[in-house]
Amino acid sequence: MPSTREVQVGTLTEQVIGAAIEVHRALGPGLLESAYRECLCHELKLKGIPFRREVSLPLNYKGMTLDGGYRLDLLVANTVLLELKAVAKLLPIHEAQLLTYLRLQSLQIGLLINFNVAVLRNGIKRLVNGL
């Protein structure tokens, strides 16, 4: 039986995916990632879903903090990390990137969303960090 937190995260990811589908229906494929990010932010705001965009991701290595200039595309409700793409095809490196970001932020759930597809459902991957 899923915990209350798992149900809440599942509901949140469903809402985020719904917002992304709404953006994709309106815009279609072929635009820059930044356009989809801004429109998705607007859609999340309209739905009352809290988020932060371009969250700084410093790297900690053996007691040293490095500001590598890494940024998370979107962090939704401090729970779900979104990595947005507008590429011809999602590659294993995109999944590795999201899993690394999840690990570095100690988060469990991430969505990799590629808007450059005919049907958005085919461009979404849900990844889980085993922590």
List the chain pLDDT tens, one digit each, 131 residues: 666 666 588 899 999 999 999 999 999 999 999 999 999 999 999 999 999 999 999 888 898 988 877 899 999 999 999 999 999 999 999 999 999 999 999 999 999 999 999 999 999 999 999 85
- What local confidence, expressed as pLDDT, does residue 69 receive? 75
- What local confidence, expressed as pLDDT, does residue 58 receive? 85
- What local confidence, expressed as pLDDT, does residue 60 receive? 84
Distance from chain centroid for Cα 29: 18
Distance from chain centroid for Cα 78: 11
* Model pTM score: 0.91
Strands annotated E in the chain: 51-56, 59-61, 64-66, 71-76, 80-85, 109-114, 124-128
Q: Is 105 helix (H, G, I), strand (E, B) or coil?
A: helix
Report the chain's C-alpha Rg in angstroms: 15
H runs (alpha helix) in 28-80: 33-46
Q: Which residue type occupies 35?
A: A
- What local confidence, expressed as pLDDT, does residue 47 receive? 96
Q: How many CA atoms lie within 13 A of 23 on its CB side?
A: 29
Output DSSP code: residue 130: -
Q: Hunting for tokens 């889980």 — which residue is that? A: 128
- What local confidence, expressed as pLDDT, does residue 5 receive? 65
Q: CB atoms < 10 A from the CB of 62, how many? A: 4
